[in-house]
Amino acid sequence: MIMKGRAIFKGKAIGRLLVLDEAFSFLGGVDPRTGLLTVASGREGESIDNRILVFPHGKGSTVGSYTLMDLKKNGHLPAAIINAEAETIVATGAVMAEVPMIDSIDISLLREGDRAVVNGDSLDMMDLVERKVVTCVLRRKGRILLLKRSQKVGTNRGRWAGVSGFIERGERPEETALREVVEETGIATARLEGRGGTLRIRDGTYVWTIHPFLFEVGDEEPRLDWEHTEFAWVEPKELSGYDTVPGFQKVLGTLGL
């Protein structure tokens, strides 16, 4: 799976990710003599040598830029730097030390130890597979339809979800949504009410690129196919009582539910 960002310093690198959850300062966060993270980083003793270093953004003194130069002199540079949002200190240091650096990356999708290749403004996540899908939420009188996934489906067996399906090649998400609603529920009179923002959710080695849709339906009950075993009409506030598929709450959020 290839993720596109903004190249701060263009270059090529390959390695495993070292992921820090909080803002990071090279000054005090790493020992430039050894390349080992310090207590200040929260990951004391781990080496950044030849790792693709991931963190949200930089912080701290401008001296942090020169810490990167010291790391270069001592042979302990990271292979590359990935940020959600670059700031001046780290960006300047990366340019000075000639470390490939990309920002504008959704780092919530990245995990410790993932294999990756940096090339210019691209981050190729070697072990991740992207799946493009729609998730359709059917609403009736303020309640939404939940479907329990059968043991015959490929993923998330036994969990509750909306109507979902893969977007076929050459098919627009709206077309997929309308087709899946009819196929999975038999409700042909569902009325498209709105579309939410596209989401990306990681689940193991899959990244689900989700296109959410909201439909209004009448009193007709769903007729389930092989993909589901049960259905329930619930209020959004009742979802905590159901084991839903990853990201379903975010789908509801982007639909304003």
**DSSP characters over 172-207:** -HHHHHHHHHHHHH--TT-EEEEE---EEEEETTEE
Which residues are part of the catalytic machinery? 61
Over 90: is that where the pLDDT of 249 sits? Answer: yes
Q: State pTM to two decimals.
A: 0.86
- CATH number for the region 2-125 comes to 3.50.30.10
Q: Note the pLDDT of residue 4.
A: 97
Short-list 107, 60, 108, 55, CA closest to 78: 55
Over 90: is that where the pLDDT of 115 sits? Answer: yes
In the chain, CATH 3.50.30.10 sits at: 2-125
Q: Does domain 129-254 have CATH number 3.90.79.10?
A: yes
The one-letter code for the residue type at 55 is F
Mean pLDDT score of the chain, rounded to an integer?
95
Contact between 114 and 125 under an 8 Å Cβ cutoff? The reply is yes
The confidence band for 8, taking pLDDT boundaries of 50, 70 and 90, is very high
Q: Note the pLDDT of residue 60.
A: 86
The confidence band for 42, taking pLDDT boundaries of 50, 70 and 90, is confident
pLDDT in tens, 58-67: 998 888 899 9
Query: Which range has the worst mean pLDDT, 38-42, 52-56, 120-124?
Result: 38-42
